[in-house]
Structure 1
Protein backbone atom coordinates (compact mmCIF):
# COMPACT_ATOMS: atom_id res chain seq x y z
CA UNK A 1 0.00 0.00 0.00
CA UNK A 2 1.39 3.36 -0.98
CA UNK A 3 -0.43 6.46 0.09
CA UNK A 4 0.79 9.67 -1.42
CA UNK A 5 1.63 12.65 0.76
CA UNK A 6 -0.16 15.56 -0.86
CA UNK A 7 0.43 18.36 1.59
CA UNK A 8 1.04 19.29 5.17
CA UNK A 9 -2.09 20.79 6.69
CA UNK A 10 -2.64 23.03 9.66
CA UNK A 11 -0.72 22.19 12.80
CA UNK A 12 1.78 20.12 10.81
CA UNK A 13 -0.60 17.23 10.12
CA UNK A 14 -0.11 15.17 6.99
CA UNK A 15 -2.87 14.85 4.41
CA UNK A 16 -2.86 11.62 2.42
CA UNK A 17 -4.39 11.10 -0.98
CA UNK A 18 -5.74 7.72 -2.06
CA UNK A 19 -4.38 5.90 -5.09
CA UNK A 20 -8.01 5.54 -6.18
CA UNK A 21 -8.92 9.23 -6.46
CA UNK A 22 -9.56 8.73 -10.19
CA UNK A 23 -12.62 6.60 -9.35
CA UNK A 24 -14.41 9.62 -7.84
CA UNK A 25 -15.02 10.91 -11.36
CA UNK A 26 -16.68 7.64 -12.39
CA UNK A 27 -18.58 6.34 -9.37
CA UNK A 28 -18.48 7.45 -5.74
CA UNK A 29 -19.31 3.93 -4.47
CA UNK A 30 -16.34 2.43 -6.32
CA UNK A 31 -14.08 5.07 -4.80
CA UNK A 32 -15.38 4.49 -1.27
CA UNK A 33 -14.92 0.70 -1.50
CA UNK A 34 -11.42 0.95 -2.97
CA UNK A 35 -10.38 3.65 -0.53
CA UNK A 36 -11.62 1.64 2.47
CA UNK A 37 -9.76 -1.46 1.24
CA UNK A 38 -6.60 0.60 0.84
CA UNK A 39 -6.84 2.12 4.31
CA UNK A 40 -7.57 -1.24 6.02
CA UNK A 41 -4.75 -3.10 4.26
CA UNK A 42 -2.28 -3.17 7.16
CA UNK A 43 -4.46 -2.96 10.29
CA UNK A 44 -7.21 -5.34 9.10
CA UNK A 45 -6.44 -7.58 6.10
CA UNK A 46 -9.77 -9.43 6.41
CA UNK A 47 -11.72 -6.22 5.90
CA UNK A 48 -9.52 -5.47 2.89
CA UNK A 49 -10.50 -8.80 1.31
CA UNK A 50 -14.20 -8.14 1.92
CA UNK A 51 -13.97 -4.62 0.46
CA UNK A 52 -12.05 -5.85 -2.59
CA UNK A 53 -14.76 -8.47 -3.13
CA UNK A 54 -17.44 -5.80 -2.86
CA UNK A 55 -15.48 -3.61 -5.27
CA UNK A 56 -15.34 -6.47 -7.77
CA UNK A 57 -19.10 -6.99 -7.51
CA UNK A 58 -19.77 -3.27 -7.92
CA UNK A 59 -17.48 -3.14 -10.97
CA UNK A 60 -19.28 -6.11 -12.52
CA UNK A 61 -22.67 -4.50 -11.92
CA UNK A 62 -21.39 -1.23 -13.36
CA UNK A 63 -20.13 -2.95 -16.52
CA UNK A 64 -23.32 -4.99 -16.96
CA UNK A 65 -25.67 -2.04 -16.44
CA UNK A 66 -27.40 -0.79 -19.59
Structure 2
Protein backbone atom coordinates (compact mmCIF):
# COMPACT_ATOMS: atom_id res chain seq x y z
CA UNK A 1 0.00 0.00 0.00
CA UNK A 2 1.49 3.31 -1.08
CA UNK A 3 1.53 6.51 0.93
CA UNK A 4 -0.97 8.17 -1.42
CA UNK A 5 -3.39 5.30 -0.82
CA UNK A 6 -2.92 5.60 2.94
CA UNK A 7 -3.60 9.35 2.87
CA UNK A 8 -6.82 8.79 0.89
CA UNK A 9 -8.34 6.57 3.61
CA UNK A 10 -10.81 7.98 6.13
CA UNK A 11 -10.23 7.77 9.88
CA UNK A 12 -12.57 4.80 10.26
CA UNK A 13 -11.02 2.99 7.30
CA UNK A 14 -7.58 3.53 8.85
CA UNK A 15 -8.72 1.99 12.13
CA UNK A 16 -10.18 -1.03 10.33
CA UNK A 17 -7.06 -1.45 8.21
CA UNK A 18 -4.78 -1.24 11.29
CA UNK A 19 -6.79 -3.96 13.03
CA UNK A 20 -6.63 -6.19 9.94
CA UNK A 21 -2.89 -5.65 9.49
CA UNK A 22 -2.18 -6.39 13.17
CA UNK A 23 -4.08 -9.64 12.86
CA UNK A 24 -2.13 -10.49 9.69
CA UNK A 25 1.16 -9.70 11.43
CA UNK A 26 0.23 -11.95 14.34
CA UNK A 27 -0.52 -14.81 11.92
CA UNK A 28 2.77 -14.25 10.10
CA UNK A 29 4.75 -14.28 13.34
CA UNK A 30 2.99 -17.44 14.49
CA UNK A 31 3.63 -19.20 11.17
CA UNK A 32 7.26 -18.08 11.24
CA UNK A 33 7.73 -19.41 14.78
CA UNK A 34 6.48 -22.85 13.78
CA UNK A 35 8.46 -23.15 10.58
CA UNK A 36 10.34 -20.44 8.69
CA UNK A 37 8.07 -18.72 6.19
CA UNK A 38 9.13 -18.46 2.57
CA UNK A 39 9.58 -14.68 2.60
CA UNK A 40 10.40 -13.29 6.07
CA UNK A 41 10.45 -9.75 4.64
CA UNK A 42 6.64 -9.90 4.75
CA UNK A 43 6.88 -9.50 8.54
CA UNK A 44 8.96 -6.36 8.20
CA UNK A 45 6.72 -4.94 5.48
CA UNK A 46 3.65 -5.57 7.60
CA UNK A 47 5.17 -3.80 10.61
CA UNK A 48 6.10 -0.81 8.46
CA UNK A 49 2.61 -0.62 6.98
CA UNK A 50 1.07 -0.64 10.47
CA UNK A 51 3.40 2.20 11.49
CA UNK A 52 2.50 4.15 8.33
CA UNK A 53 -1.21 3.70 9.02
CA UNK A 54 -0.82 4.73 12.67
CA UNK A 55 1.12 7.83 11.66
CA UNK A 56 -1.56 8.91 9.20
CA UNK A 57 -4.33 8.19 11.72
CA UNK A 58 -2.60 10.36 14.30
CA UNK A 59 -2.10 13.18 11.78
CA UNK A 60 -5.80 13.11 10.88
CA UNK A 61 -6.80 13.13 14.57
CA UNK A 62 -4.62 16.16 15.23
CA UNK A 63 -6.06 18.06 12.24
CA UNK A 64 -9.66 17.42 13.29
Name whichever structure is richer in helix by fraction. Answer: 2
What TM-score do the two structures reach when normalised by structure 2? 0.43
What TM-score do the two structures reach when normalised by structure 1? 0.42
Answer 1 or 2: higher relative contact order, Cα 8 Å, separation at least 6. Answer: 2
Name whichever structure is richer in strand by fraction. Answer: 1
